[in-house]
């Protein structure tokens, strides 16, 4: 009897390949593979490759029999022989042998013995590393994908055995991936039915081992020692390899199971694991496919829009990590899609928050406030994502995003934005405005355009400076900070932080370049918009210290980046007009606001005088500041903006040496070559259509006086402007729409005239109108003459915001006129 249990006579009649196979098995399996006979079998297989399929079939038959009989020693020997034959033979005839080999591996994996499962996995991994000469068009690995995935979820009672099986399953999946993607028919592995098994199995093992153990079985023994291989690390490496091999057509199939796994295991809140998974995904895939991941994330966010706020916030944070990585490379056509989807969810979040607030009751106030705070988390996550994504885009794309976001801000009088806030009410609209401006602030951070016109184009500047965004103190702060980001091209803001009297501006080491021709053109076209925004911003009653600081910084940045001689004169006119706001006080501002504006003017003129370095101008400003230090410290920023401030009861008795005087400034600048004629024309803010329909009293009052004084070429137009009372005239008077159009055209002509007409013509017309106004008032109103306080017998008449010199002094009783 031989080692195979067959008599010698019968053994001699058996085929040679069977005899060679039988000889490699020893009588005692503990002795292991008979190496000499194994060498004979290998030589025979290499010499006669056509026999390989029969050798494989016979080995498979013996292995199946040994597995059933639990003769595991012979099973190990059979698998070792198969491995050696696979490594030695690379001919065309190896294909049938491989089929027998895979049948034997499947037999081992189907057994319930962990050692056999690990053995079969190791043999499959060795096979996966062999490069075949020709592809196999009929071989499929569906069974191995399913079996290895099941091993990754092993729930064996023994922790060490469980870990060993899981590691074998992960290595098996890795082998399937490597073997499949190298074949010509590699697309089969990317089919959804395979990815739905492979990806969740890897993610399941990528989580912390202690967390998994606590879920599915007893905890690992602390005395077991560290394993040579960690399932989490091995699964992560396999996951990275899988994603690295993904192509354009199968990227989505690899990513979608990730969302399903995170949903099923509720890993969005907390989302640390979800964030780490998507970081791995974004760094593993090819850069040109990043937009696939972003699109899938956006789609999943849309699908889960009704989930809890914390789940949505977790998905948005994952999107933030994805776009932060994708923005450094190629993100494809999804830039606007990202922003559009995020803004849509921002509106939904605000809607949910307001809905919870409206439906809240006293008994559920705690849960309602908790839901509202959760919605705030969602909103902050959206803002952070928008801002971070935008700030990492190249400048040419960032300018488009700025326009896109600004177009979504609800602005009075415009209907182009697609972010519907009509059902949110005033509170919801304000919330949307604040959050979009916060997003825009982050997008503009670090943006550095070559010209200011590129940074502030008219379609962007007009809605940004809209009075609709001036109704709230926080909105005004955000608008000014956005302007700072775009105007400050030399990073001077940090040096200007905090409103104060700077003793020596040269110590700040301000960086500046010569103003370009494009910037000069920009200031001619849009400078009045900037001045107007600052002027009206100073008149708001709800201003706090931060508002004054930002207004001061705005004036300083315009001086540094955009000021030529003409702009300097305009800025001085603006500063004097701000001072007049406090003196006239027609808006009845609180005392803190009046002193704050005075401090703002002092700090800015101190800065401006040193920047243009005109000694006489500097001397006048310094003298006023010194006088204020002694007599009116509340007119200086160091005193008015401290915690324990002392406010005066009245500002009526102050002497003129506490104020900056136009004639002194004109005299000092004129001696240095500045054209100071325009200083005698007080600053009047531009008028917009929105002003007339808004509730802002100061602007409307200015419009009423300005329209009465300025139109026409001579005083006779006013006198002769009478019509015969007819039916047509009455019909025209009733037609409100026609009146509105006429008023709009009238204002347009006034503004155009002030922008384009020569200065001498405007000055002459203003003087003519002033004389005409004086004559008419003398005829109509009750006048009380009083002695003039100056030898010249002339004073200044202020009509709204328009000032006129050399008018005889009268005390006039007229609602919109004040005499000084």
Confidence class for position 645, pLDDT limits 50, 70, 90 = confident
- Answer yes or no: is pLDDT of 417 > 70: no
Confidence class for position 23, pLDDT limits 50, 70, 90 = confident
Among candidates 501, 498, 805, which has minimal Cα distance to 624? 501
Tokens representing 496?
């200007």
Q: What is the tens place of the pLDDT at every residue in 575-628?
A: 999 999 999 988 899 999 999 999 999 999 999 999 999 999 999 999 999 999
- How many other C-beta atoms can be found within 10 angstroms of the C-beta atom of residue 138? 7
Tokens representing 315?
């998905």
Least confident interval from 11-20, 230-239, 410-419, 485-494: 410-419
Quick one: pLDDT at residue 661? 94
Of these ranges, 343-352, 420-429, 807-816, the one predicted with the greatest mean pLDDT is 343-352
State the pairing for strand pair 802-808/794-799. antiparallel
CB of 469 within 8 A of CB of 476?
Answer: yes
| Cα distance between residue 396 and residue 406, in whole Å | 16
- Answer yes or no: is pLDDT of 35 > 80: yes
Q: What is the tens place of the pLDDT at every residue in 505-527?
A: 999 999 999 999 999 999 999 99
| Cα distance between residue 206 and residue 252, in whole Å | 20
| Cα distance between residue 100 and residue 57, in whole Å | 6
| Cα distance between residue 412 and residue 469, in whole Å | 9
In sequence order, what DSSP letters do the residues of 274-318 get, joined into one string? HHHHHHHHHHHS-GGGHHHHHHHHHHHHHHTTTS-HHHHHHHHHH
| Cα distance between residue 356 and residue 369, in whole Å | 8
Q: Provide mean pLDDT across the span 410-416.
A: 63
Among candidates 676, 648, 671, 659, which has minimal Cα distance to 577? 659
Confidence class for position 705, pLDDT limits 50, 70, 90 = very low
Quick one: pLDDT at residue 188? 75
Quick one: pLDDT at residue 215? 43
Quick one: pLDDT at residue 182? 60
- For the purposes of burial, counting CB atoms within 10 Å of the CB of 720, is it exposed (0-12), middle (13-18) or buried (19 or more)? exposed
Q: What is the tens place of the pLDDT at every residue in 99-149?
A: 878 888 888 898 888 988 998 899 898 888 877 666 666 677 889 999 999
Cβ neighbours of residue 233 closer than 8 Å, sequence gap 6 or more: none
H or E element in which residue 671 lies:
none
- At 481, give phi and psi (nearest 5°): -65, -35
CA distances from 447 to 21, 267, 318 (A): 75, 36, 25
Quote the crossing angle between the two packed helices 72-88 and 114-128, to the nearest 10°.
Answer: 0
Q: Report yes or no on whether pTM surpasses 0.85.
A: no
CB of 82 within 8 A of CB of 64?
Answer: no
| Cα distance between residue 123 and residue 172, in whole Å | 9
CA 526 vs. chain centroid, Å, equals 28
Tokens representing 338?
């990202």
| Cα distance between residue 572 and residue 683, in whole Å | 9
Q: Provide mean pLDDT across the span 348-377.
A: 71
| Cα distance between residue 358 and residue 424, in whole Å | 11
CB of 377 within 8 A of CB of 315?
Answer: no
Confidence class for position 420, pLDDT limits 50, 70, 90 = low
Q: What is the mean pLDDT of the chain?
A: 79
Confidence class for position 774, pLDDT limits 50, 70, 90 = low
Q: Provide mean pLDDT across the span 213-238.
A: 61
- Answer yes or no: is pLDDT of 805 > 50: no
H or E element in which residue 323 lies:
helix 309-326
- Residue-range domain boundaries for the chain: 246-356+374-412+423-447, 451-691
Nearest-5° angle of CA 678, CA 683, CA 688? Answer: 130
CA 534 vs. chain centroid, Å, equals 27
Q: What is the 3-state secondary structure (H, E, C) of 579-617?
A: HHHHHHCCCCCCHHHHHHHHHHHHHHHHHHHHHHCCHHH
Q: What is the tens place of the pLDDT at every residue in 554-570?
A: 999 999 999 999 999 99
Would residue 664 be called left, alpha or beta, if left means φ above 0 and alpha means ψ between -120 and 50 degrees? alpha
Quick one: pLDDT at residue 695? 44
Quick one: pLDDT at residue 126? 85
Which residue, chain included where needed, has tokens 């899988």?
242
Q: Is 541 helix (H, G, I), strand (E, B) or coil?
A: coil
| Cα distance between residue 456 and residue 557, in whole Å | 14
Looking at residue 801, the DSSP 8-state letter turns out to be T
- Answer yes or no: is pLDDT of 500 > 90: yes
Q: Is 798 helix (H, G, I), strand (E, B) or coil?
A: strand
Confidence class for position 220, pLDDT limits 50, 70, 90 = very low
CA distances from 563 to 487, 521, 664 (A): 12, 12, 21
Least confident interval from 9-13, 334-338, 472-476: 9-13
- 559-582: string of b/e by CB count within 10 Å (b at 16+)? bbbbbeeebbbbbbbbbbbbbbbb
Q: Is 775 helix (H, G, I), strand (E, B) or coil?
A: helix
Confidence class for position 772, pLDDT limits 50, 70, 90 = low
Least confident interval from 439-443, 606-610, 802-806: 802-806
- Answer yes or no: is pLDDT of 414 > 60: no
Q: Where are the alpha helices (DSSP H) in 590-696?
A: 591-612, 615-631, 637-640, 662-670, 689-693
């Amino acid at each position: 009897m031989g080692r195979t249990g067959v008599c010698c006579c019968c053994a001699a009649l058996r085929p040679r390949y069977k005899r060679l196979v039988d000889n490699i098995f020893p009588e005692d399996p503990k002795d292991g593979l008979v190496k000499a006979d194994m060498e004979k079998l290998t030589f025979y297989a290499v010499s006669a490759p056509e026999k390989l399929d029969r050798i494989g079939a016979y080995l498979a038959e013996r292995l199946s029999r040994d597995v059933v009989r639990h003769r595991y020693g012979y099973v190990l020997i059979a698998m070792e022989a198969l491995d050696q034959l696979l490594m030695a033979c690379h001919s065309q005839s190896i294909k049938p042998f491989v089929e027998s080999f895979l049948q034997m591996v499947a037999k081992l994996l189907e057994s319930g013995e962990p050692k056999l499962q690990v053995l079969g996995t190791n043999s499959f991994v060795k096979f996966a590393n062999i490069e075949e000469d020709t592809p196999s068009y009929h071989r499929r690995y569906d069974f191995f994908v399913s079996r290895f995935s099941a091993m990754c979820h092993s729930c064996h009672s023994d922790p060490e055995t469980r870990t060993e099986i899981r590691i074998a399953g992960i290595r098996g999946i890795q082998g399937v991936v490597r073997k499949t993607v190298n074949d010509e028919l590699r697309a089969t592995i990317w089919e959804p039915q395979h990815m739905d098994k492979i990806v969740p199995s890897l993610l399941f093992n990528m989580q912390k081992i202690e967390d998994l153990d606590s879920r599915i079985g007893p905890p690992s023994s602390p005395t077991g020692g560290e394993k040579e291989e960690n399932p989490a690390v091995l699964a992560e490496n396999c996951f990275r390899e899988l994603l690295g091999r993904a192509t354009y057509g199968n990227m989505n199939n690899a990513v979608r199971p990730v969302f399903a796994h995170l949903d099923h295991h509720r890993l969005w809140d907390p989302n640390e694991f979800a964030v780490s998974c998507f970081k791995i995904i974004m760094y593993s895939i090819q850069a040109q496919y990043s937009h696939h991941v972003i699109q899938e994330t956006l789609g999943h966010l849309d699908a889960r829009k009704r989930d809890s706020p914390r789940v949505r916030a977790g998905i948005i944070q994952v999107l933030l990590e994805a776009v932060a990585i994708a923005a450094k490379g190629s993100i494809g056509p999804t830039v606007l899609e990202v922003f559009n989807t995020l803004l849509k969810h921002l509106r939904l979040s605000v809607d949910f928050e307001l809905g919870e607030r409206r439906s809240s009751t006293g008994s559920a106030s705690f849960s309602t406030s908790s839901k509202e705070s959760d919605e705030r988390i969602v909103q902050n996550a959206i803002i952070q994502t928008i801002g971070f994504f935008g700030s990492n885009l190249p400048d040419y794309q960032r300018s488009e995003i700025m326009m896109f976001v600004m177009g979504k801000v609800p602005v009075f009088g415009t209907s182009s934005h697609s972010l519907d806030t009509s059902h949110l009410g005033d509170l919801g609209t304000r919330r949307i405005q604040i959050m979009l401006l916060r997003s825009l602030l982050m997008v503009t951070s670090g943006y550095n355009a070559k010209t200011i016109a590129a940074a502030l184009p008219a379609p962007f500047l007009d809605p940004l400076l809209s009075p609709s965004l001036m109704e709230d103190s926080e909105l005004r702060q955000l608008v000014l900070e956005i302007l700072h980001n775009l105007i400050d091209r030399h990073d001077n803001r940090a040096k200007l932080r905090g409103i104060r009297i700077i003793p020596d501006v040269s110590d700040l080491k301000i960086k500046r370049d010569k103003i370009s021709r494009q910037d000069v053109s920009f200031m001619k076209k849009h400078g009045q918009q900037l001045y107007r925004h600052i002027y009206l911003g100073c008149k708001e009653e709800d201003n706090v210290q931060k508002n004054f600081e930002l207004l001061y910084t705005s004036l300083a940045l315009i001086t540094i980046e955009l000021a030529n001689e003409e702009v300097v004169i305009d800025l001085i006119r603006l500063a004097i007009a701000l001072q007049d706001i406090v003196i006239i006080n027609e808006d009845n501002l609180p005392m803190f606001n009046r002193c704050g504006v005075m401090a703002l003017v002092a700090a800015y003129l101190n800065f401006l005088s040193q920047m243009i370095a005109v000694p006489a101008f500097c001397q006048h400003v310094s003298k006023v500041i010194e006088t204020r230090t002694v007599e009116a410290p509340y007119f200086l920023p160091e005193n008015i903006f401290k915690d324990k401030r002392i406010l005066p009861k009245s500002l009526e008795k102050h002497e003129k040496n506490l104020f900056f005087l136009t004639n002194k400034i004109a005299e000092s600048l004129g001696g240095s070559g500045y054209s100071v004629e325009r200083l005698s024309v007080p600053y009047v803010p531009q008028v917009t259509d929105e002003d007339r329909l808004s509730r802002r009293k100061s602007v409307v009052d200015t419009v009423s006086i300005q329209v009465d004084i300025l139109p026409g070429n001579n005083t006779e137009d006013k006198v002769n402007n009478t019509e015969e009372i007819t039916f047509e005239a009455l019909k025209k008077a009733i037609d409100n729409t026609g009146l509105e159009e006429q008023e709009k055209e009238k204002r347009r002509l006034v503004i155009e005239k002030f922008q384009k007409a020569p200065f001498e013509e405007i000055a002459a017309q203003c003087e003519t109108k002033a004389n005409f106004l004086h004559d008419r008032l003398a005829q109509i109103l009750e006048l009380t003459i009083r002695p003039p306080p100056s030898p010249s017998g002339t004073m200044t008449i202020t009509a709204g915001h328009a000032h006129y010199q050399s008018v005889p002094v009268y005390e006039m009783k007229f609602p919109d006129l004040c005499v000084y």
